Each structure stands twice: as structure tokens, then as C-alpha cells.
């Protein structure tokens, strides 16, 4: 069976160029080896007849299944499935000048552009299928990326040309590659402008910078040949080490190659010139990095005719490689002999080129001596690679179907979580409704009815404030051995006596001046301002977080950026006013406690605290024993302790209550009135502007909507194939 053979007008005779003998001498030409003389030409003719007219594969059930599977994967890629799923595919890579373009030509039976420029700046996806009609070709542009390399939400495929003559393929591919490098938006109008450009015009565009340096978008080549093969592959630009005018090209090509071969369902066809050491090839290093165990890499050795008999070292290396003794790959290596420029220019048919290739491998040392002949020639490479691809696609269909279902379920759930769209034609009722919901939610939150976590956090701050106040409580020492003031602030008997004596004037004996007690009380109460304001600051921070959460709630304003900014500005302004009022209140409370008169009507508690001090520090005096005198120092200490306990308990209650009243409850009552006043004064245009949805949510909605549509189409296509697998398949014509 010919491989993607173009239409011919001859009867299948060999051309004038190349090593095969002419028909008149084919039966008489001999080749002498060291061991025997073999009539090679006769064997070659018989083998070529067998190879090129073997229609078993093309006519088998396998061939029908292969065509349908390749068609399926192409349809899935057109739907953008390759960005969502690991679609099985074949990717050709190789260093520049490795002979990759010649392999592509041999496989497709067409000529591809070889000019420096466009042929190295975008990938090309080639699909060959056998069909019963005349030779046909369609070229398309698949746009999946913007000019900066970012992925589009949905791929676009633009028809470029339908061809019926293989001779037209090269120039139209050159035009299509130039079109895909066109800067700006590429649409059908832009594409049409390239369909008639000449090679000279395209070259001028390249040299003047009218085209982009590189594109991740793909030129698609679909060939339908009555004597073709069934195979699809992506041909990537040749890997380069440097570029004369654009150094970024080196990294761009490597980035494209790495991204294209990383998928575990990607078969990597690695083209290597047999004139060079395998390990010197950058393509080999990239393939090894992506496929360290060599499980999905297929090696293709090119240019065996460039190995002279004297190059024994390189020949020996490639003998070991082809025999599986070096650089092992699970799928092994193939060796192909491709036409040079002179033969290529002679426009030989694929049939003639296959004959020349077969003649070379059957007559040239050491390749003619290999027992496994399936490792030589384009035909064997195509047949093997096609089977690997088809088996990979078929085995992955259940996995792909399952992954599509999972992704579809995830995206639909994510879409359901997005807020519903609103009625922008009547903005005022929508905004009023959301303002009411926000104000009610805030009021219920500060009262502890809605978000109890908000109250719990504040109570933790209040408890911490209580503990900080408790740390300022006076400590006493009534030991006669410790009569001086300690560094930790402990009040001693000697210090109290000194305070009493320092404040005495003309009082009567046994009088204790109040100034002594006042001094010690103020020394401790003066420490309350810092913890009170620190507690207030932490509660205010918690309030800000809660306000932001309510604003961000999609049920309130989170999805409307402009409305959210307006509401936040108003609420923040009112909040600052409440914070100032609360700060004033806390300062008043502090000043009341930090100045005279020291007062309490809670005399019972005061008396109880005083007795508690005596119970701990002077129990004998409390019992009234006749030999124990209640000293003046003890009286002052007991008064200090009792008043601190009563006053601090009052202060640790009033501070939280003031914050709750002056900040939280006051803000809850103020914001409703203010918000409704501002909104009521807005005109219809501004109200409508307020309901413009947040760009992030809009983009997410659009992204999910398109992904769901894409996944649904992918699922339907997979189901369609599944149904058709048990029914007769009617293949549609490529061209209308």
C-alpha cells in the first residue's frame, strides 16, 4: 500500500534519478557481497510490488476503525479538548537540519516549506486518511492562543484552502503559516488576504517585520488519499541553538516542544541524523526529560546515505541502537532514507521514492544484513506508528469519557455556586433590597444572632482585657523583714508608713491622711488606659473584617465592584465617626477612675474585699485578738486593695459595654439611614452603573459557561463515536 501517495499519471515506472535501475536492466543488475552474488533488482521489484499493492491493512476492519478514531481525535481537538484532556497524539520533534521535514514529506506525500522563516515559527498538524475518492487536501488555521501565548477561552478554526493537486500544497502551506503569524486579530478577512500571496511577498513580510516571530497556533493539513495511510501527527518547529536576528526564538521553540511532549498520552517521534552522535541532539535531551524511561518515544534515524563506509564508529553506534543495545526505547528505532534536494526537485512520486529507499536498504552495508526488515523504510515506520496511536486512542476512550464527566460535574457545580444575574433594567429595587439585607445582617451580627464567631472573637478580646487589668492589681508585703519597696511594685509596710508620714500636717493623733491612700490607688489605676485602648483597637479590627466579609458576600455587594466601593466608603465614614465617639467615651471612663473622688455605693462589696485582705495578710487583727494591734499601715493597705477590686470590676464591665454601645450598636443604627439617603439621591444612570457585575465574576461566569459548552460537545462527540462503533459507519466527505 502506498503511503499518502499523490496522484500519478504514469504506470508506476521508476524515475530517472536515484539508485534503482531502469526497467530494462532491472533483471540483469547484480550486487556482489563478500559472501555471495545476489540478484538484488529482481528481489527489489518483487518486494516493491508486494509493499505498494498490499491493500490488506487499508481494507481491513482495523483501517476503518483507525480512520474513525483519527477523525474522532481531530474533532475533539477542534473542540479544544487537548487543553482539558490528555488526548493521545503523535508529535514529531528534532533538531533543525535533522531531516524532520523530509520525514514529514515522506509520510504525507506532499512538499512542505523549507525556507528559513515561517516553517520554523509555528506547529503544523498533519492528518492522512485513506478514502475511495480522488486525492483531496484541506488546510485550516486552528487558533488556540493569543499573540502573547495565553490560551483563548475557546479555540477557533478558520478554513484556508481546499486543494485537489498535490503540487499546490507547498505554496499554500507557506501562505497559511504566514497568515498565522499575522499580528493582531486573525479573522476570515485577514486569512483571505494571504491566500494569493507569492513566496516573494511572504519573504518581504518576514524581512520587514510585518509578521510575528513565532506563534503557538497551528496550521492543519488534512490529506485524503485513495492510496494513503491513516495517521495523524503534530510537526513542531526544528529545535535551534541560536538565531541570527531573534534570540528569543531559541527559548520559544524549546518551550513549545516541552509543552507539546509532556502529556503521558503523547508519542514522541524523535528524528536524529545518523551522521551525528545521539547525545549531541538537543531534541534527544528534551525527549529524555519528558520520557525518562523511553516508554513513549519512537526514534527515527535519518540520512543513513550520508554515512560513508569509512565512518565505522558511527555505523557501529547505529547498529547497536537499531538492535536495541544502546539508548533503548520501548518502541525502538526506525531507519529511513529520504530524497536529497536534487531528487526532491525532480518531483518523483511517493511510489518511486519508496522504491529508491527500499533499494538502498536492500543493497547497502550494513543495513541489508539486518534480519528485522520492519525497522527500515518510511512505510514500516508509518504502519507501526499508526498502530501505536490507534491502540493508544482506543485504550484511552473510557478514561477520556470518565474525565469529561468529572470535569463537567465540577464545572457545573462551580457555575451553580456563582451568584445569579440581576435585573439591571430596574436597579433601584435591587439595590434597596441588598442594602436592607446588608443592614439586617450587620445588626444581627453585632447582636450575636447571625455570625456568632464575631461575638466569640470580641469576647476573647474582652477576656484578655480583663486579665490585663487584673495584672495591675497591687501586691502587698506585711513581713517585718521586708519593709522597703520592692522592684516589682509590691507595697511594703515601710512604704505605707512613709506615705502616711509624708502627708501629715496638723492632724490629730491616729489620723490617717487620705492622700496616702490616694497615692497608691492612682499608682495602679493609671495603668488601665493602655489595655483599654488596646482592647478597643482589636475589637475595631474584628469589626472591619466582619464588614468586609458582609460587603464581599455575593448576596450583598461582592459581585458589584462599583456598588461595593460606594457602600464601603459610606460605612467606613460612619464607622470612623463611631470610633471617635467610642474613643471619647473610653477616655472619659479612664479619667473618672483616674481621679478623685474615689467613690462607690457598693459598700457591701467594698467591705467584703477589705475583710478578704485582712484574712490573707493580717488574720489575727481581723479576729480582734487583744494583743494584736490593727496598724495604720494595715488599714491603708486594706483600703487600697478593696477599692481596686471594686473599681476594676466596674471598669472591666464598662469598657466592653461602651464599645458595644458606642461602636457596634451605634454603627448598626447609623448606616441604614445614611445608605438609603445616598442611594435615594442617585439618578437612574448611576444606579445602573452600580449594578455592573464585578469583572472577575463576569470573566469566571463566561469561562465556566464556555468550558461547560465545550465539555458537553466533547461528551456528545464521544457518545456519538460509542454509538457508531456498533453501527455501520458512513464517512462524510471532506469537501462539500
What pLDDT score does 584 carry? 97
Q: How many CB atoms lie within 10 A of CB 725?
A: 13
Candidates 3.40.50.300, 3.40.50.150, 2.30.30.30, 3.30.365.10; CATH matching 64-406 = 3.40.50.300
Q: How many CB atoms lie within 10 A of CB 178?
A: 25
What pLDDT score does 486 carry? 60
What pLDDT score does 244 carry? 65
Sequence-distant (6+) residues with CB within 8 A of 662 are: 578, 581, 582, 585
pLDDT digit string, tens, across residues 696-725: 888 898 899 999 999 999 999 999 999 887
User: Of 145, 160, 125, which Cα lies nearest the Cα of 217?
Assistant: 145
Dihedral sign for Cα 186, 189, 191, 197, please.
Answer: negative
Q: What is the mean pLDDT of each run of 10 residues along the chain (736 residues)?
A: 35 35 34 33 36 47 87 92 94 90 89 66 91 91 88 88 94 94 89 93 90 90 88 91 75 91 96 91 94 96 90 90 92 92 80 89 92 93 94 95 96 89 79 90 91 93 96 87 64 89 82 90 94 97 93 76 89 95 96 91 93 86 51 91 95 97 95 90 86 81 92 95 70 41
What pLDDT score does 153 carry? 75
Distance CA 157, CA 144 (A): 9
What pLDDT score does 114 carry? 74
Distance CA 111, CA 170 (A): 5
What pLDDT score does 594 carry? 92
User: Of 90, 87, 72, 89, which Cα lies nearest the Cα of 399?
Assistant: 87
What pLDDT score does 26 carry? 34
Distance CA 523, CA 515 (A): 12
What pLDDT score does 24 carry? 33
Residue 358 exposure: Cα atoms within 13 Å on the Cβ side: 25
Domain map (residue ranges) of the chain: 64-406, 427-692
Q: Which is the CATH superfamily of the domain at 427-692?
A: Dynamin, middle domain (1.20.120.1240)
What pLDDT score does 699 carry? 86
What pLDDT score does 252 carry? 86
Amino acid at each position: 500500500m502506498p503511503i499518502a501517495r499523490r496522484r500519478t499519471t504514469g504506470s508506476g515506472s521508476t524515475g530517472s534519478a536515484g539508485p534503482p535501475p531502469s526497467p530494462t536492466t532491472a533483471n540483469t543488475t547484480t550486487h556482489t557481497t563478500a559472501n555471495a552474488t545476489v540478484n538484488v533488482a529482481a528481489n527489489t521489484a518483487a518486494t516493491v510490488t508486494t509493499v505498494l499493492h498490499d491493500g490488506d491493512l487499508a481494507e481491513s476492519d482495523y483501517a476503518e476503525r483507525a480512520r474513525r478514531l483519527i477523525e474522532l481525535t481531530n474533532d475533539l481537538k477542534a473542540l479544544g479538548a487537548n487543553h482539558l484532556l490528555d488526548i493521545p497524539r503523535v508529535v514529531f520533534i528534532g533538531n533543525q537540519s535533522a531531516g524532520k521535514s523530509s520525514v514529514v514529506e515522506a509520510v504525507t506525500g506532499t512538499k512542505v516549506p523549507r525556507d528559513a522563516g515561517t516553517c520554523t515559527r509555528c506547529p503544523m498538524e498533519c492528518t492522512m486518511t485513506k478514502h475511495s475518492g480522488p486525492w483531496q487536501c484541506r488546510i485550516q488555521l486552528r487558533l488556540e492562543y493569543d499573540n502573547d501565548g495565553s490560551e483563548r477561552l475557546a479555540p477557533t478554526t478558520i478554513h484556508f484552502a481546499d486543494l485537489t493537486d498535490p503540487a499546490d500544497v507547498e505554496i499554500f502551506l507557506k501562505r497559511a503559516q504566514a497568515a498565522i503569524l499575522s499580528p493582531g486579530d486573525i479573522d476570515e478577512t485577514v486569512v483571505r488576504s494571504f491566500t494569493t500571496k507569492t513566496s516573494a511577498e511572504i519573504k518581504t513580510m518576514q524581512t520587514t517585520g510585518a509578521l510575528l516571530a513565532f506563534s503557538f497556533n497551528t496550521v492543519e493539513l488534512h490529506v485524503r488519499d485513495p492510496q494513503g495511510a491513516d495517521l495523524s501527527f503534530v510537526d513542531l518547529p526544528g529545535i535551534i541553538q541560536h538565531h541570527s536576528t531573534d534570540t528569543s526564538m531559541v527559548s520559544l521553540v524549546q518551550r513549545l516542544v516541552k509543552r507539546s511532549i509532556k502529556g503521558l498520552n503523547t508519542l514522541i517521534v524523535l528524528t536524529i541524523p545518523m551522521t551525528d552522535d545521539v547525545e549531541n541532539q538537543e531534541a534527544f535531551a528534551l525527549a529524555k526529560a519528558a520520557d525518562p524511561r523511553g516508554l513513549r518515544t519512537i526514534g527515527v534515524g535519518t540520512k543513513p546515505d550520508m554515512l560513508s563506509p569509512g565512518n565505522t564508529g558511527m555505523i557501529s553506534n547505529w547498529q547497536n541502537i537499531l538492535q536495541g543495545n544502546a539508548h533503548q526505547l520501548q518502541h525502538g528505532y526506525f531507519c529511513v532514507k529520504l530524497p536529497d534536494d536534487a531528487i526532491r526537485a525532480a518531483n518523483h512520486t511517493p511510489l518511486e521514492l519508496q522504491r529508491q529507499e527500499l533499494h538502498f536498504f536492500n543493497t547497502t552495508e550494513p543495513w541489508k544484513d539486518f534480519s528485522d526488515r520492519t525497522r527500515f523504510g518510511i512505510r514500516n515506520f508509518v504502519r507501526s506508528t499508526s498502530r501505536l496511536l490507534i491502540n493508544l486512542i482506543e485504550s484511552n476512550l473510557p478514561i477520556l469519557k470518565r474525565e469529561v464527566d468529572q470535569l463537567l460535574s465540577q464545572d457545573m457545580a462551580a457555575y451553580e455556586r456563582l451568584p445569579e444575574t440581576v435585573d439591571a433594567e430596574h436597579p433601584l429595587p435591587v439595590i434597596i433590597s441588598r442594602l436592607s439585607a446588608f443592614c439586617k445582617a450587620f445588626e444581627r451580627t453585632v447582636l450575636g444572632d447571625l455570625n456568632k464567631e464575631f461575638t466569640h472573637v470580641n469576647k476573647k478580646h474582652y477576656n484578655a482585657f480583663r486579665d490585663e487589668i487584673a495584672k495591675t492589681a497591687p501586691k502587698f508585703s506585711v513581713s517585718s523583714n521586708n519593709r522597703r519597696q520592692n522592684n516589682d511594685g509590691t507595697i511594703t509596710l515601710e512604704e505605707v508608713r512613709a506615705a502616711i508620714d509624708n502627708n501629715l500636717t496638723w492632724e490629730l493623733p491616729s489620723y490617717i491622711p487620705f492622700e496616702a491612700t490616694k497615692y497608691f490607688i492612682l499608682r495602679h489605676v493609671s495603668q488601665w488606659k493602655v489595655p483599654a485602648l488596646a482592647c478597643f483597637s482589636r475589637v475595631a479590627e474584628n469589626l472591619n473584617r466582619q464588614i468586609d466579609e458582609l460587603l464581599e458576600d455575593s448576596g450583598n455587594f461582592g459581585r458589584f465592584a462599583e456598588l461595593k466601593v460606594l457602600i464601603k466608603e459610606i460605612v467606613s465614614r460612619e464607622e470612623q465617626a463611631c470610633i471617635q465617639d467610642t474613643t471619647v467615651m473610653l477616655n472619659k471612663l479612664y479619667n473618672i477612675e483616674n481621679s478623685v473622688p474615689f467613690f462607690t455605693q457598693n459598700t457591701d462589696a467594698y467591705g467584703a474585699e477589705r475583710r478578704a485582705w485582712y484574712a490573707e495578710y493580717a488574720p489575727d487583727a481581723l479576729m480582734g485578738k487583744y494583743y494584736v494591734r490593727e496598724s495604720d499601715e494595715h488599714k491603708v493597705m486594706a483600703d487600697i486593695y478593696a477599692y481596686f477590686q471594686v473599681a476594676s470590676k466596674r471598669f472591666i464591665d464598662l469598657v466592653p459595654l461602651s464599645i458595644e454601645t458606642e461602636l457596634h450598636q451605634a454603627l448598626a443604627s447609623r448606616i441604614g439611614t445614611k445608605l438609603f439617603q445616598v442611594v435615594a439621591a442617585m439618578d437612574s444612570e448611576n444606579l445602573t452603573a452600580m449594578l455592573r457585575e464585578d469583572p472577575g465574576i463576569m470573566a469566571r461566569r463566561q469561562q465556566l459557561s464556555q468550558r461547560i459548552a465545550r465539555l458537553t460537545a466533547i461528551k456528545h462527540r464521544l457518545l456519538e463515536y460509542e454509538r457508531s462503533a456498533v453501527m455501520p459507519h458512513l464517512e462524510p466527505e471532506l469537501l462539500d
